[in-house]
Structure 1
Amino acid sequence: MISFTLNGKETQIDASPDMPLLWALRDELKMTGTKFGCGVAACGACTVHIDGVPTRSCQTYLGDLDGATVTTIEGVESDAAKAIQEAWVELQVPQCGYCQSGQIMSASALLAETPKPTDEDIDTAMDGNLCRCASYARIRKAIHRAAEIMEA
């Protein structure tokens, strides 16, 4: 039995320690907001926060989570996440939307650490979060807008 905190709730799961967190979330816990993209931690669609750090859940194994705190798109509630979500809607960032949960998780972690990011900060934090629709310019603009929202 593996125990961890998931979106603020103590969670236990009886699954193989070799099971990727992504599949435990989607298949065992029925939380489908975290998406499968590539399976090799290269695209960012499966990004969650583990102990506050953006982490690719497709390459994170349940056995490594005992006692950790995991936050998914369903449970992210920080001021940064709320500002990101508001800016995403205001600027109509998504096109197909598939990558957006991973984008939002990475962007909210950035703003939590760096409330006024530069373009370089954004590029570094968002590196590896791929968008099939290439909405990168809107993503960057929305992160800057979210920083303004947080400041107000």
Structure 2
Amino acid sequence: MEYHVGIGELRAARAPSTIITRGLGSCVGVMLCDFGQGVGGLAHVMLPRSSEFTSFTNPYKFADLALPALLEELRALGGRNFKAKLAGGAKMFAAATERAGFDIGLRNVEQVRLTLRQLAIPIANEDVGGSVGRTVTLDTATGVVKVRTVGRGEQLL
């Protein structure tokens, strides 16, 4: 089965499944897999922390809320021993972020790493930073993540 995950969305699935997200600029794609159980999932995180907002309608756009929710869905599918892979967190508008002192891509990556540490999930691999957008495909059967980037082609995580 093939699933597409948009900004501020997540998806958990059993193998054999493919989960795809496009348009990872400053957003971070977080892939969690339990290789032994054939369970995997992906969250397309847009912002670091929900505590920076007084109200919101979509908790999955925040790293601090999306990752525990994804973990819960994966555990419901039988997953127990997870490893994470990350992609995204780019600085898409260098001049604007330098003037404002505000690199949302970096902040997203830092919060994802912190939340994964709090959830005791090790990071197996990552392709983060830079200044290019990414498309990510997760194969839940193998845990292989394909990262496509304009100008760099495809790499495997």
> TM-score under structure 1 normalisation?
0.29
Give the structure, 1 or 2, with the largest relative contact order (CA under 8 Å, sep 6 or more): 2
More helix by share: 1
